Amino acid sequence: MRILSISRGLETSPHAGGEYISATRITRALAERGHDVTLLAPGTADTQPPFEGADVRTVTPCRRSHLPFRMWRTLRAAGDLDEFDAIVAHGGEGFCFAAARRFRGGKPLVTFVHTPKLKRAALLHSRWLAYQQYTAAWADRVVCLSQYQATRVSETYAIDAARVDVIGAGVAPNFFDVPERPLPNGSGRDEPLQLLIVGDQSHAKGFDLVLETLARLRSRMPLQAQVVGSSDDPLANAHTAELTRRLGLQDVVRFHGQIPHEAMTEHYRRSDVFLQPSRRETFGLAVLEAMATGLPCVVLRRGSVPEVVGDAALVVEDECPEQLADAVLSLQDPVRRRALGQQARRQAAGFGHWSEAAGRLHEILGEVTRKAPSGARLTPATAGRSPPAR
């Protein structure tokens, strides 16, 4: 099958998060299944393909406020759509193809919704919300990585649940290859506990909770915290620097910024505990990868995280630094850390590799190309059929 895959970014993009990583990995897995895949993403003429054999067409990046112009450039960069049998879009990037599907018939369209915006956030993200909702409404099928995500999409965008599919996520094999951490010769309590935090330093990721938790822990145990990831929001970065200074954590926290995704296994290998008290998480790819390496995790009961971790992590109920600190303290014993890490690795193994998620997407693409061939007009998935106001 000839597939056009459209994403807001690649695994190698600056500030790449779970959406960009999953988009790249699923596209790669589709190509490995024998599909002829073209990847359309922001970049320049010298943008490096994210995997061998990738056909990458680039769209010159532009500001989100210029969405109509950006969508026009996306359609132009796609070229002759007769080259493709189906289109896979991530987020609102498929808007122009959804419009074509509605008004004049077009290629079968499957769209991922990675982060359904909350209705209460519509005033801040009204245009992006509208484009993403419109794309989901006029796509043949909507795809999510978790059941929590699928429920939110159906409720937030008023989409028929029968058109929303859950394919799950996967883990690259090299994460499972991280060896089990050796037990120390002594009690291990004199060595600083190595904490790992992965993600941007935003309120949604609970980074203020991370710093408040570290401030409570430093007087109760020796520790070091490694932070991987960065934010593209200067205000968030300034707030992080100020809170770190105010809490006196400069000697406890080390910021590594954004690093290549394939280098993450080394950080997981060197760590003792993974801490991620995200307030909003529509999947939690970093948590799943940490579990795959056998790293015990401390998380909040928010979003899809409980669905991902099951009973293989310490799940804190409230957004309370004291409760988070107590959970970390309970993992001082290396024997308990190893036991929880082994349980975490078994839980992660249940998700499998990205090839399995791509296999489920392959089945969905086969269904939509049989039921809604190219050129067919589509009935919308919602009652709201109007295109978003500019």
Residues 83 and 214 in one domain: no
Q: Which residues of 320-333 are buried (b: 16+ CB within 10 A; e: fewer)?
A: ebebbbbbbeebbe
Residue 69, C-beta contacts closer than 8 angstroms, at least 6 positions apart: 62
| Nearest Cα residue to 176 out of 112, 51, 259, 265 | 265
Residues 10 and 84 in one domain: yes
Tell me whether strands 2-6 and 86-90 are parallel, antiparallel or unpaired.
Answer: parallel
The pLDDT value recorded for residue 63 is 53
Residues 7 and 106 in one domain: yes
- Give the confidence band of 215 by pLDDT, cuts at 50, 70, 90: very high
The pLDDT value recorded for residue 16 is 62
Q: Which of 51-60, 174-183, 199-208, 261-270 has the lowest mean pLDDT?
A: 51-60
Average pLDDT over residues 28-56: 75
In a domain, 63, yes or no: yes
Residues 207 and 325 in one domain: yes
Residue-range definition of the domain harbouring residue 55:
2-170+354-371
In a domain, 390, yes or no: no
The pLDDT value recorded for residue 341 is 96
In a domain, 149, yes or no: yes
Residues 29 and 9 in one domain: yes
In a domain, 74, yes or no: yes
Tell me whether strands 86-90 and 109-112 are parallel, antiparallel or unpaired.
Answer: parallel
How far is the C-alpha of 72 from the C-alpha of 70, rounded, in Å?
5
Tell me whether strands 86-90 and 36-42 are parallel, antiparallel or unpaired.
Answer: unpaired
How far is the C-alpha of 19 from the C-alpha of 209, rounded, in Å?
23
The pLDDT value recorded for residue 169 is 92
> Does position 24 have pLDDT exceeding 90, yes or no?
no
Question: Is residue 96 a contact partner of residue 75, using CB atoms and an 8 Å limit?
Answer: yes
The pLDDT value recorded for residue 120 is 44
Quick one: 106 exposed, middle or buried, by C-beta within 10 A (0-12, 13-18, 19+)? buried
In a domain, 382, yes or no: no
- Give the confidence band of 221 by pLDDT, cuts at 50, 70, 90: very high
The 10s digit of each residue's pLDDT in 317-334 is 999 999 999 999 999 999
> Does position 62 have pLDDT exceeding 50, yes or no?
yes
In a domain, 330, yes or no: yes
The 10s digit of each residue's pLDDT in 105-160 is 678 899 998 776 544 444 445 566 677 777 888 889 999 999 999 998 888 888 88
> Does position 70 have pLDDT exceeding 60, yes or no?
yes
Question: Is residue 353 a contact partner of residue 172, using CB atoms and an 8 Å limit?
Answer: yes
270 phi, psi to nearest 5 deg: -85, -5
The pLDDT value recorded for residue 259 is 86
Residues 199 and 323 in one domain: yes
- Give the confidence band of 71 by pLDDT, cuts at 50, 70, 90: low
Question: Is residue 382 a contact partner of residue 160, using CB atoms and an 8 Å limit?
Answer: yes
Helix residue ranges per DSSP H, the chain? 18-32, 67-78, 95-103, 122-138, 147-156, 173-176, 207-217, 234-246, 264-270, 285-292, 305-309, 321-329, 334-349, 354-371
In a domain, 358, yes or no: yes
Residues 221 and 153 in one domain: no
The pLDDT value recorded for residue 77 is 74
Residues 51 and 107 in one domain: yes
Residues 183 and 259 in one domain: yes
Residues 309 and 252 in one domain: yes
How far is the C-alpha of 297 from the C-alpha of 7, rounded, in Å?
30
Residues 126 and 35 in one domain: yes
The 10s digit of each residue's pLDDT in 222-269 is 999 999 987 777 777 788 889 999 999 999 999 998 888 888 999 999
More confidently predicted of 341 and 384: 341
Beta bridge partners of residue 143, listed in sequence order: 112, 165
CATH number at residue 324: 3.40.50.2000
Question: Is residue 117 a contact partner of residue 355, using CB atoms and an 8 Å limit?
Answer: no
Residues 64 and 130 in one domain: yes
Average pLDDT, the chain: 82
> Does position 12 have pLDDT exceeding 90, yes or no?
no
Total structural domains within the chain: 2
In a domain, 188, yes or no: yes
Average pLDDT over residues 300-310: 94
